[in-house]
Amino acid sequence: MANVRVDIDALKNALSITLVAERLGHQVVRGKFRCPYAMRHAHGDRTPSVSISESRGIFNCWVCPDVHGDVIKLVEISKNLDFKGAVNWLQNEFGMPQSFDLAAQSVTPDLQNGEASPLIKVVHKTPEPEIDPILRTKIILAFFEMLSPVEGSPAAPWLVKRRIFKKTWEKMRLRFITDYDKVNRELLNRFGLEVLQKAGLFNDNGNLRYYKHRLLFPYLDSKVIPRFFQARSIEPDTQPKELNLRGQVPFPFHVSLLNGEPGWIYLCEGCVDTLTMIDRGFPAVGIPGVKSFKFEWANLFKNKRVIVCLDQDEAGRAGARLVLEMLQKAGVEASLYGEGITVEGFQMSEGQDINSWFGGKK
């Protein structure tokens, strides 16, 4: 029953235990709620005894030895269901997988950085955008026009080291923030702080967010207009390495390849891996992180044969299976890289990503 196991893990990975607890009627305050067996506690557990670890996806009552476990166990206890009943409840309640919004579209600002985060929220309806999307696009476009080409910037040797060469950084319109202060000032003069913050470019301190993340990967639409971007630090010690523009990711990176014509697509994780593949001549499309694929994107892959090649680690493999399932549900022919499929006869080994596999140096 290996497949069932996988689906359960995917389900658990995709759910926020806090949101599930709330849906079950528990009042979660600062990561705690009242024990479902309140009668066992003094004063009906007025001071909540159950703690949630959102990052680990588990809960624990400090009094009851039998009240602890994962999100499924939480449903079992709260609804008095068995394991299967709890899984069914979760699937019905959270609409697996159609209503999953696994994008980095998170609730708290520190999750906006595009790094794999366990704090994935299930979002039932898309929140109203705070800014007119046309204005947002206009700001992104103006921002990119203020930036320098990669050629001659410190990003050029950085990219070459990762085996991403000039033809690719030009084709994909990569840019670099050479004069941060000037870009910061020009944007402020032109649009004003409030709008720039709403558009997700400026932080609460009133500055452009990309002081350390100066290499910009634009998400170009079919008319080569940047509609979203990821920013990358080329300094070795910056954490996180990448910073997304806040807000919705409108489509995968290099979406122009998804043109409805028959052909192969390699679906990669992160812009660097995708660019490495593109540089080698592979038709590669990227998603910001393993958990950022959206079900509605599956239709974009119509007529393509997709090879999902996410990182060869635990998170990458779990994410890849979820993406695969969404593509297949949409009727797209898709397979996992590594399961009988190798690119040009090579196999990635444990812990590798596309870039390191092609000889890129970190």
Chain positions contacting Zn ion, by CB under 5 A: 35, 37, 61, 63-64, 67
Minimum Å gap between C-beta 15 and Zn ion is: 22
d(CA 114, CA 101): 14
Nearer to Zn ion, 45 or 353 (CB): 45
Minimum Å gap between C-beta 12 and Zn ion is: 22
* Count of other CB atoms within 10 angstroms of residue 302: 14
d(CA 361, CA 158): 9
* Count of other CB atoms within 10 angstroms of residue 282: 19
Minimum Å gap between C-beta 80 and Zn ion is: 15
Nearer to Zn ion, 69 or 240 (CB): 69
Nearer to Zn ion, 37 or 180 (CB): 37
CA dihedral (106, 112, 113, 117) in degrees, to 10, reads -20
Output the six-digit token pair for 91: 């699937």
Minimum Å gap between C-beta 49 and Zn ion is: 5
Nearer to Zn ion, 36 or 114 (CB): 36
Q: What are phi and psi of 348, to 5 degrees?
A: -75, 145
Nearer to Zn ion, 58 or 330 (CB): 58
Nearer to Zn ion, 32 or 280 (CB): 32
Of 180, 178, 129, 188, the closest CA to residue 156 belongs to 178
Minimum Å gap between C-beta 79 and Zn ion is: 16
Please give the residue whose beta carbon sits closest to Zn ion in the complex. 35
Helix 133-145 with 180-191: angle, nearest 10 deg: 150
Sign for the pseudo-dihedral over CA of 278, 284, 290, 295: positive
Minimum Å gap between C-beta 17 and Zn ion is: 17
